[in-house]
Structure 1
Amino acid sequence: MSNLWAKVLRDLRNPLFLQGYALMANTVITGVLGMGYWLLAAHFYSPEEFGRGQAVITAMRLFASLTALSFVGALARYLPIGGRRTPELILRGYGLAAATGGVAALGFLLTLPLWGKTYSVLAGFGPGLFFLFSVLVWAVFTLQDVVLTGLRRATFVPLNNLIFGLVKMGMLVAVAGALPSGGIFVSWVIPTALALIPINWLIFGVIVPRHVRQADPTQEPPRLREIGRFLSGDFPGTLSMLAIVYLVPVVVATQVGEATFGRFSMAHTLASMIELLAMNMAVSLTVEGSFDRNALAMNCRRALRRAFMIVVPIVTVAILGAPLILRIFGDAFAEEGTTLLRLMALAVLPRVLIEVYLSALRATSQARLLALVQIGLAVAVLASTLTLFPIFGVNAVGYGVLFSQLLVALLIFGNLRKILKIGQTGRSVVTQGSSGAA
């Protein structure tokens, strides 16, 4: 036991592991509080309102993430070396993400009748304006965590989301009687808006000034043209990945009833939280790779070992215990969601390989290859899901994700092995990475 504790303490002195563990802890906290939130929602709201709330929140996150998710890679890549331009990079990211999400949400609201009965709750000026506000808020909220991570302050992320989750659960119960038909969405958005104030005060009032003071004065901050070239390659790929995370559930919501979507969404949400664990260490890897490219290969090997060490037991529990986990929400959830949860949990294992590879590409600015891998994965998931949906229904999402991630992991495995061996052969990762840069 003492050896394990000593190993953990040694890991925490390494920024790669400290950041990665903080983000993993955040995922666990978010997952536990998320389950509690949806358990309360299932108790206080009807199955139809439960499904409608899930659908509207998914749509909000889709539009808010249109540009926000593409800035996740860019901010993780360039904030560590941002120097005096750090505040400008953050504000530009916030502004572009909010503006793009707002325009997309406005287009959605103007074409609302085309999106099915589930989204009719957003009809009218008041509900539409509130939805538009929620998209702007969530766009900034999405980038807060990666800003903290890019500035090596990821330890604040779980604390922020712990408080946010508890406030969100309290508001869910508080408004259940007054807003039986919209309480879920309101209880999600208001705490999100309130959370922006203290966290951005911390970022711009404390962390950014300290980061700028500690920056290497001899290092030239990244130019906007350089960041633009990176985004031109990363954005199409990230947009494709966005289709997997948010567009697939929105499409499912247009094809099934509200109650069925609620049960699908619960299994999908739980599986997505497990997948986030695979992505957490990868985000930390991008940050540390930006600080020190020569250590990238060694950090890739470390990230893979730690990620599999943590993810494999969780995936095993999810596969074996899927019916019991989902039965907490009700028998219907277990009957309709067990297969989906098992398939998507199993798909996390190849996703670990993919995410580590993508982070290595980001750290070495190989934007074109980065886009190619992400677009290929998204096309495979969407094509296989749409092909299998008439046969397997909502479980087609699980089969599509598993097949696609296994296929892409096999295709990138050779290149990943080369990256992992660079440090062992003494070759410079910078040279290896720059040769394919956009």
Structure 2
Amino acid sequence: MSTTASPPEAATGRLTGLSRKLMRDLRNPLFRNGYALMANTAITAVLGMGYWLLAARLYTPEDFGRGQALITGMRLFASLTALGFVGALARFIPVSGKRTAHLVVRAYVVAGATGVTAAFGFLLTLPLWGETYQRLAGFGPGLFFLASVLVWSIFTLQDVTLAGLRKATWVPVNSICFGLVKMAMLVGLASALPDDGIFVSWIIPTAMALIPINIFIFGFVIPRHVRENAPAAETTRPPTLREIGRFLAGDYPGTLSILAIVYVIPVMVASQVDEATFGYFSMAHTLGSLIETLAMNMATSLTVEGSIAKTQLARNARHALRRAFMIIVPVVVVTIVAAPLILSIFGPDFAEQGTHLLRLMALAVLPRVLIEIYLSGLRARSEARKLALVQIGLAVTVLASTMALFPYFGVEAVGYGLLFSELLVAALIFGGLRRMLDYGETPQRSVA
């Protein structure tokens, strides 16, 4: 009698095996946090596509492009310091003990204050930034823009705070509520506020989300985190402000340079093209950036777990790299093949002008996975100088190549610049990444 399983039985067996593997992964904080952040990116992508699809249908191409440009500018200034604290919070929240709440509050205050100050300087120099941003001229629009920068600064740090507390599973919940309210407000403002409805519908739900999430973080999650880690806190010394400052001194310049890739380039493009063209560009750029975020999600979880269990960094890095590629490679392939179809949902002009850019950005994510895993390992080991060197090198290469290619390829120069730069940097750090992955025991290190 043949013992070969029938196709349905074999398929059932494979599904059972995958289910068991997934459940086993979810018991591991490294994978649980990483999967939660990746799920959040997927949810953000789906709801974001729905949001921008409604915006493309309800608003003119000029209003659509202007809304994108204002949101990009706001996120640039909000992230000037906030993104710099992302690595530090992931690194130090797990080991801060009773000082955790103080660390998070200080990050909120510093990020918000510096972002608003930089945005105020931007408003004072509006004539230098092209016609698109002249909408912010005047006391009322300017004050709303400054408030939006403050709100987004805090909003940016909420997700990494939850990840550092090993509660990243709540991040997708926040994104679902935020995304749905944002879409509802977008529709409601289409006729009442056609010129600025996109920007306003983006900011108001963000401000609304701050209150319940931070009550949850400071009222429940941080106290529980402190109680659960009390035994370990008795035998380990929490990081001092001096140690955190030294880490930031090395990590922040690198993070600031990466910020140039994410936000300065779109602002630069917005100042060079008309509003409608920027709308077509920004849709492809937004989708490409979401795929790139997937590479950063598992890396953030690796930083958290590497800070807690440094002796297991090499093993965790290998696991994170495998899982990241397992998820990202199929996403990249589907995006490259289906890019015209994806963008055509927003209209034929989006597909015509954004397909090649989206494909280039999706392809560039593959070497970015290697870079992000390497950077997360450096953060866990507090090797701040190497962090800064790699990130600054990547940013300089991206900016230089994009500016050099822009006169010849237009907005597609952004995709070519990213692909070339990330392939180059991945090749340069490959030897260090291999040593990190092959290292059996990672010794405890002080802050570099």
TM-score between the two structures when normalised by the length of structure 2: 0.96
Structure 1: give runs of 5+ residues left out of the alignment. none
Per the alignment, residue 385 of structure 1 pairs with 402
C-alpha deviation, 1:218, in angstroms? 2.0
Distance 1:146 1:332 in 2: 36
Distance 1:358 1:365 in 2: 10
- Counterpart mapping for 1:91-240 below 5 A: 91-215=105-229, 216=232, 217-240=234-257
**Larger Rg over CA atoms:** 2
Residue identity opposite 2:393 in structure 1:
G
Per the alignment, residue 29 of structure 1 pairs with 43
Distance 1:306 1:407 in 2: 23
Per the alignment, residue 266 of structure 1 pairs with 283
Distance 2:167 2:128 in 1: 43
Per the alignment, residue 368 of structure 2 pairs with 351
Per the alignment, residue 337 of structure 1 pairs with 354
Distance 2:183 2:150 in 1: 22
- Residue deviations 1:208-240 (CA, integer Å, cap 9, x gap): 111111222222111000000000000100000
2:443 pairs with one of 419, 424, 430 = 430
Residue identity opposite 1:80 in structure 2:
P
Distance 2:306 2:61 in 1: 46
Residue identity opposite 1:218 in structure 2:
T
Per the alignment, residue 5 of structure 2 pairs with none
- Counterpart mapping for 1:379-418 below 5 A: 379-418=396-435
Distance 2:354 2:330 in 1: 20
Residue identity opposite 1:430 in structure 2:
P
Distance 1:208 1:220 in 2: 18
Distance 2:415 2:254 in 1: 21
User: Which secondary structure state, in structure 1, belongs to the residue aligned with residue 245 of structure 2?
Assistant: helix
Per the alignment, residue 365 of structure 1 pairs with 382
Distance 2:369 2:314 in 1: 16
- Residue deviations 1:275-325 (CA, integer Å, cap 9, x gap): 011110000000000110011000000000000000000000000111111
- Residue deviations 1:341-383 (CA, integer Å, cap 9, x gap): 0000000000000000000000000000000000000000000
Distance 2:238 2:225 in 1: 13
Per the alignment, residue 293 of structure 1 pairs with 310
Identify the range of structure 1 (339-348 vs 211-220) with the bigger mean alpha-carbon deviation: 211-220
Residue identity opposite 1:405 in structure 2:
E
2:293 pairs with one of 245, 266, 276 = 276
1:63 pairs with one of 64, 68, 77 = 77
Distance 1:180 1:351 in 2: 38
User: Which secondary structure state, in structure 2, belongs to the residue aligned with residue 393 of structure 1?
Assistant: helix
User: Which secondary structure state, in structure 1, belongs to the residue aligned with residue 356 of structure 2?
Assistant: helix
Per the alignment, residue 393 of structure 2 pairs with 376
Identity of aligned residues (%): 71
- Residue deviations 1:26-54 (CA, integer Å, cap 9, x gap): 00000000000000000110000000000
TM-score between the two structures when normalised by the length of structure 1: 0.98
Distance 1:218 1:266 in 2: 50
Per the alignment, residue 243 of structure 1 pairs with 260
Residue identity opposite 1:165 in structure 2:
G
Distance 1:325 1:214 in 2: 45
User: Which secondary structure state, in structure 2, belongs to the residue aligned with residue 2 of structure 1?
Assistant: helix
Distance 1:180 1:169 in 2: 15
Per the alignment, residue 2 of structure 1 pairs with 16
What is the number of equivalent residue pairs in this alignment? Answer: 431
Structure 2: give runs of 5+ residues left out of the alignment. 1-14
Distance 2:202 2:236 in 1: 42
Distance 1:179 1:114 in 2: 27
Residue identity opposite 2:74 in structure 1:
M
Residue identity opposite 1:44 in structure 2:
L
Residue identity opposite 1:407 in structure 2:
L
C-alpha deviation, 1:421, in angstroms? 0.5
- Counterpart mapping for 1:47-86 below 5 A: 47-86=61-100
Q: CA RMSD in A?
A: 0.7
Per the alignment, residue 326 of structure 1 pairs with 343
Distance 1:180 1:327 in 2: 23
Per the alignment, residue 255 of structure 1 pairs with 272
Runs of 4+ in 1 over 4 A off after TM superposition: none
Distance 1:240 1:357 in 2: 17
C-alpha deviation, 1:430, in angstroms? 1.9
User: Which secondary structure state, in structure 2, belongs to the residue aligned with residue 220 of structure 1?
Assistant: coil
